[in-house]
Amino acid sequence: MKIAIISGSHRPSGQSGRIADFLASRVESLKTGAQTYVLKLTHDMLPLWDESMWGQEGQAKEAYAPIAKELQSCDAAIVIAPEYNGTAPAALKNFFHYASGSDLGHKAGLLVGVSGSINGAYPIAEMRSHSSKNCKICYMPDHLVVRHAAEVLKDDVKDDFKEDDAYMRERIDYTLNVFFEYAEALNKVRESEVVKNTPQKYAFGQ
Ligand SMILES: Cc1cc2nc3c(=O)[nH]c(=O)nc-3n(C[C@H](O)[C@H](O)[C@H](O)COP(=O)(O)O)c2cc1C
């Protein structure tokens, strides 16, 4: 099994990137033989979507090609959505202009909200409602929200955050184990004739 982990943070030293690495190590520990592909959408990773994706002039298609190749080799994807001004960051919204059904279609998705304080639910709601129509990722019902992100899932947790940290670690392991089951189950859906032969006219959710 190969799991993509996409961090939506704009900040090279942001918490979402660190949490992406933490989740990658948990995936590899919990699932024997599992591989991960970690994509951090820091400022320079992907240009704003342009019409080169439709065969016209631009730089987007070339920039996205190696990412598409990696995503296509994955069975499922974890989408990490930090909360910026009560919404998901522009880099993550931009990524979903690129991602297609060939990359993520009918693959299990796990959403992870990240907040510097006690928020983190808005980007989850936004991703659930506005990121799956065309790429057809299948978000599982449970999601994770990492609050006080700078204080947890690290080695030197302060006393005030030890309880939150322990809860979060246990919750992550449980949720990842359920996620692996969805990832495996949806292989069957992707291999089905009805999905393989989906008419082009239905490809964009009409
Ligand atoms: C532009 C910007 C806006 C932010 N707005 C919010 C917010 O509305 N709610 C919140 O809980 N945290 C907010 N934060 C803090 C982030 O949630 C915090 O940095 C967290 O670690 C996730 O972002 P990161 O992965 O870039 O570090 C904001 C951070 C930035 C950079």
Closest by CA position to 112, among listed 71, 159, 153: 153
110 close to 79: Cβ distance less than 8 angstroms: yes
Judge whether residue 163 has pLDDT over 80: yes
Residue range 76-134, pLDDT digits in tens: 999 999 999 999 999 999 999 999 999 999 999 999 999 999 999 999 999 999 999 99
Domain count along the chain: 1
Instruction: Tell which one of 19, 23, 83 to mutate to probe ligand 1, the residue whose CB is within 8 A of the most ligand atoms.
Output: 83
In the beta sheet, which residues pair with residue 7?
40, 80
Closest by CA position to 171, among listed 137, 139, 147, 138: 147
| Ligand 1 center–CA 162 separation, angstroms | 22
Domain extent at residue 85: 2-202
Give residue ranges with CB within 6 A of ligand 1: 9, 11, 14-16, 82-86, 114-117, 119, 149
Residue 200 has a pLDDT of 85
Atom of ligand 1 minimally distant from the CA of 119 = 11
Residue 199 has a pLDDT of 86
Residue 120 has a pLDDT of 97
Residue range 29-84, pLDDT digits in tens: 999 999 999 999 997 789 999 999 999 999 999 999 999 999 999 999 999 999 99
Residue 21 has a pLDDT of 97
* CATH classification of the domain holding 183: 3.40.50.360
